[in-house]
Amino acid sequence: MNAPDEPVLELVHVKKEFPLRRRLGEVIRGDHVRVHAVDDVSFKLGRGEILGLVGESGCGKTTLGRMITRLIAPTSGRIVMDGREITGTGGEEETAYRRSVQMIFQDPYASLNPRFRIRDVLEEPLLIHHIGASRAERMRLIEKVMEKVKMIPVRDYLDRHPHMLSGGQRQRIATARTLILSPRVIVADEPVSMIDLSTRAEILHMMKAVQQEMELSLLYITHDISTARYFTHRIAVMYLGRIVEIGATDEVIESPRHPYTRALIEAVCEPVPGRVQRLRELPIRGEIPSAAAIPDGCRFHPRCVFARPECADMTEPELEAVGPGHYAACRRLKEI
């Protein structure tokens, strides 16, 4: 699937910096230490599309998700929905936006208030946005959405508390909670990483079915590129606050162009025999640097096995096309 022409959601040069507590010496010297969690990200999300945002810890994917759901505000850049800018808006526009963009959190044990019953959890969004004139009407909406996520029979679950449900069931409720407002975009932050392997596919399956039925756009944030393969239409790979590669899922996985993507894919373990006696060759050096001290030039160059001296000196590479709908940010694309 190519990048959509009429995107539901578009990010334009979005940045997020966090100031860091400094030691006295640094303050005196005037050093400004900032964590560049998200450092110039732009992409489009189409209608009914599932975009995977893949990266390791500290790459900024969660921060990006939180900016999209307006839990934090970007330091600079714009977030545009249906062509209308929503960064910096407040009041009614903000409330309307919140109805359209919802989030599923990683930890099913923490994202539901343990004191609430399931009916309260699902009623909360309705009450916040004044949907449903009467209790009965709200209950109807709640039952409908519970059926969508296959929590049936509904009666059995309405009066339970979260700790009486399994991890998978809780994620279903969390999904139901996002769906009840009929949003346009759902940001799912590692929705299955804390769920048992044997249930993961079930939850992803359910999410995909719902997504297709309601033509939702889904931003699937994960560090596990293997599940992304089953779930997403396109993948964006993030490194240290930037997108280094983006394209159709199968293409990025089968023909990765950016050295980081290649290293990532090389590193994944597969359930195949014959690996025990062999060491995995990883085309990558060292460890992820701190987001407060981003390397000069191409930020990946200290770890890149293909790096040349120019990679450190020249300005940071931008995303350039390597195929239809497939972009990578590397100076040496043609050579490697």
Partner 1 sequence: MREFWKEFTKIRTGLVGLGILIAFVVLAVIGPSIVPFPSAIDHWRDISFWQDNPQAAPPVWINALPWTGKRGVVSSLLEHPGYSEVKEESGVKVRKYVFAYRYDSDLPPRDLVVRFQGQGQVPLDISLRRPDGLDAPLYREQLDIAEGVLQRVSIGRNCARQVIEFVRAHNEDLAAGLDPDLIKPVSILFSKLDPSMPDSPAALKGAYTITVTALLLNDQFAFQAPSIVVSGHVSGILGTDLSKRDVFTGIVVGIRWALIIGILTSILTVFVGVVLGVCAAYFGGAVDWLLNRLYEFVYLLPVLPFLIVISAIFKPTIWTLIVIICLFFWTGPYKPVYSMALQIREETYVEASRALGARPGRVIFRHILPLLLPYSFAVMALSVPAVIVYEASVSLLGLGDSTIVTWGQILHDALGQGAVINNLWWWVVPPGLMIALMGMSFAFLGTALDRILHPRLKTR
Partner 2 sequence: MSAPLLVVRDLKLHYFTSKGIVHAVDGVSFEIAAGETFGLVGESGSGKTSCATALLNIPAPPGRIVGGSILLEGAEITGMSDRDLRRRVRWSRISMVFQGAMNSLTPVYTIRALMAETCREHAGNEHLDTAGTEQLMRRYIGLVGLPAHVLDRYPHELSGGMKQRVAIAIALFLEPELVIMDEPTTALDVVVQAQILNLIKELKHRLNLSYLFITHDLAVEAEVADRIMVMYAGKAAEIATNEQIFGERGPLHPYTRLLLDATPRLHDAAHELAFIPGAPPDLIDPPQGCRFAARCPWARQKCRLQEPPMATIEDGHHVACWKAMKDGEYERS
Using the rule CB under 8 A, give the single segment among 17-25, 84-92, 219-227, 324-332 that binds partner 2.
219-227
In terms of phi and psi (left: phi > 0; alpha: psi -120 to 50; beta: otherwise), the region of 113 is beta
DSSP state of 157: H
Distance CA 259, CA 328 (A): 10
Distance CA 279, CA 301 (A): 24
Minimum distance of partner 2 from residue 98's CB (angstroms): 32
Interface pick for partner 1 out of 29, 135, 155, 163 (rule CB under 8 A)? 163
Per the CB < 8 A criterion, the answer to whether 33 and 24 are in contact is no
Minimum distance of partner 1 from residue 189's CB (angstroms): 10
Residue 263 interface partner, choices partner 1, partner 2, none, CB cut-off 5-8 Å depending on type: partner 2
Using the rule CB under 8 A, give the single segment among 120-128, 145-153, 244-252, 317-325 that binds partner 1.
120-128
Residue 287 interface partner, choices partner 1, partner 2, none, CB cut-off 5-8 Å depending on type: partner 2
Instruction: Please report whether residue 204 would count as binding partner 2 according to CB under 8 A.
Output: yes
Instruction: Please report whether residue 99 would count as binding partner 1 according to CB under 8 A.
Output: yes
Q: Is the dihedral of CA 20, 21, 26, 27 positive or negative?
A: positive
Minimum distance of partner 1 from residue 92's CB (angstroms): 11
Cross-strand pairs, 220: 52, 188
Minimum distance of partner 2 from residue 196's CB (angstroms): 5
Distance CA 78, CA 12 (A): 5
Pick from 218, 88, 109, 255: nearest CA to 173:
109
Binding site for partner 1 (CB under 8 A): 69-71, 94-95, 98-99, 102-103, 105-107, 110-115, 124-125, 128-129, 161, 163, 174, 177, 181
